[in-house]
Amino acid sequence: MGSVVDAANKEATESAHINKKVTVVFVLGGPGSGKGTQCANIVKHFGYTHLSAGDLLRAEQNSGSENGAMIKNVIKEGRIVPSEVTVKLLQRAMEQSANDKFLIDGFPRNQENRAAQENRAAFESVIGIEPEFVLFFDCSEEEMQKRILNRNQGREDDNMETIRKRFRTYIESSLPVIEYYNSKGKVRKIDATKPVEEVFEAVKDVFAPLNDKVAY
């Protein structure tokens, strides 16, 4: 088992940097922050490709490949998928895409602060680029909780404990990444407590300088 992981890490580390010029934006936000809705708006209006680290891992896991089997075993055992493996999947998705602008959703973050930092370092070293910025949807826990409960049609007793665990995981996994990039002046914080339309107006202000033409 270990040899499979080691081989995957070696392949990822030794791979060449991504072979085209790309713009990458990391997207972070808690459950109920509206991140998914805003990512869809960014894709529609600014022509980005939305890449979810979780979706890519699940797809690889179901592909029947050797890497997929390794990912499945690692997740089953409650361990963290090696950061280089996730980065390699992101790299492949970017290289196979005809686009050169990407939203990276759900990465780099993990349930351990150290792992989150390792993911960030792996992304920059393997792919050879830093993100243009980190788009951070800032929303109070109270507001996110209210939105999730409304979305779940009020099944409060069944979901409250799970919701709180999701909040804790989000805070523990995202803060080290936000703090690191904030120290480099790369965090663009959006007040996500406002209505969807107002939030996207703030998002447009952030993305407009990067785009010569906006598709409406």
pLDDT in single tens digits along all 216 residues of the chain: 444 444 444 444 444 466 678 899 999 988 889 998 999 999 999 999 999 888 898 899 988 888 899 988 887 776 767 778 888 899 999 999 999 999 998 777 654 445 566 666 777 777 778 899 999 999 988 898 888 888 765 555 446 777 787 787 777 777 778 888 899 999 999 999 999 999 999 999 999 887 754 444
Q: Which residues are annotated as a binding site?
A: 32-37, 58, 79-81, 106-109, 113, 151, 155, 166, 194
Q: Which residues are annotated as a binding site for a ribonucleoside 5'-phosphate?
A: 58, 79-81, 106-109, 155, 166
- With respect to residue 209, please indicate whether it lies within any of the assigned structural domains: no
- With respect to residue 35, please indicate whether it lies within any of the assigned structural domains: yes
- With respect to residue 197, please indicate whether it lies within any of the assigned structural domains: yes
Nearest residue to 38 via CA among 103, 84, 100, 114: 103
- With respect to residue 181, please indicate whether it lies within any of the assigned structural domains: yes
- With respect to residue 206, please indicate whether it lies within any of the assigned structural domains: no
Domain range for 180: 2-201
Give the chain's domain count: 1
Q: Which residues are annotated as a binding site for CMP?
A: 113
Which two three-digit tokens encode residue 52? 């979810």
CATH number for the domain spanning 181: value is 3.40.50.300
Nearest residue to 29 via CA among 90, 119, 96, 105: 105
- With respect to residue 91, please indicate whether it lies within any of the assigned structural domains: yes
